[in-house]
């Protein structure tokens, strides 16, 4: 079971339009350096993934994600949204699928981050317990694609609402 909390956080100045990838990176880095805006929202003992919506308007949405190593988004995309991630405590693991080889995995530690365009497909897990990351998406997440494999091994995509919890459809996939 996940917990989803919505809270409107004071944001740094935003341009009032869809943000570019560098702007998203700047936004999550700015928020990472301002723990007074989100530290009171951190929780790890919720019995599931814990994520807090820090801000959402028509151009951008921003989330705080709390990770234990058991937390796994499963394979997914972000539909029309570009995104940026700043890891602020611990480390998270990002894995990208390849049709012609083994997935590519990177561990992203506190102080680092990454960003992506809308065509990006990945899955994320906690690399160590009690990790924290800040995520920003523009345009705001509305739908996401969740991937799994059918009985014949064919890749399947299911469209989810941004408010649905991402998790592996089949933990072995
Ligand atoms: Fe993602």
* Surface-to-core class of residue 15, CB atoms within 10 Å of its CB (0-12 exposed, 13-18 middle, 19+ buried): exposed
Return per-residue pLDDT of the chain as tens, 173 residues.
444 455 556 778 899 999 999 999 999 999 999 999 999 999 987 777 889 999 999 999 999 999 999 999 999 999 999 999 999 999 999 999 999 999 999 999 999 999 999 999 999 999 999 999 999 999 999 999 999 999 998 999 999 998 777 777 764 55
Ligand 1 centroid – CA 121 distance (Å): 7
Ligand 1 centroid – CA 105 distance (Å): 14
* Surface-to-core class of residue 30, CB atoms within 10 Å of its CB (0-12 exposed, 13-18 middle, 19+ buried): middle
Ligand 1 centroid – CA 82 distance (Å): 10
Ligand 1 centroid – CA 77 distance (Å): 6
Give this prediction's pTM.
0.90
CB 87 within 8 A of CB 133: yes
Sheet containing 155-161: order of strands: 101-109, 91-98, 121-126, 76-77, 143-149, 155-161
Q: How many CB atoms are located within 10 Å of the residue 98 CB?
A: 9
Query: What DSSP character marks residue 68?
Result: -
How far separated are the first and last CA of the chain, in Å rounded? 20
How far apart, in Å, are the Cα atoms of 31 and each of 10, 27, 39, 134, 163? Answer: 10, 6, 11, 8, 22
Ligand 1 centroid – CA 83 distance (Å): 8
């Amino acid at each position: 079971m996940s917990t989803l909390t919505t809270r409107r956080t004071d944001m740094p100045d935003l341009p009032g339009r869809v943000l570019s990838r560098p702007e998203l990176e700047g936004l999550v880095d700015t928020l990472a350096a301002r723990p007074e805006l989100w530290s009171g929202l951190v929780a790890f003992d919720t019995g599931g993934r814990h994520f807090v919506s820090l801000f959402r308007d028509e151009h951008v949405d921003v989330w705080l994600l709390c990770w234990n190593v058991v937390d796994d988004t499963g394979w997914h995309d972000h539909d029309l949204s570009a995104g940026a991630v700043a890891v602020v405590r611990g480390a998270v693991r990002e894995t990208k699928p390849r049709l012609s080889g083994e997935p590519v995995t990177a561990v992203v530690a506190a102080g680092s981050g990454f960003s992506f365009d809308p065509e990006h497909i990945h899955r994320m897990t906690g690399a160590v317990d009690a990790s924290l990351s800040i995520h920003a998406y523009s345009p705001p997440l509305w739908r996401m694609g969740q991937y799994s494999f059918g009985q014949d091994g064919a890749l399947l995509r299911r469209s989810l609402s941004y408010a649905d919890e991402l998790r592996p459809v089949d933990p072995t996939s």
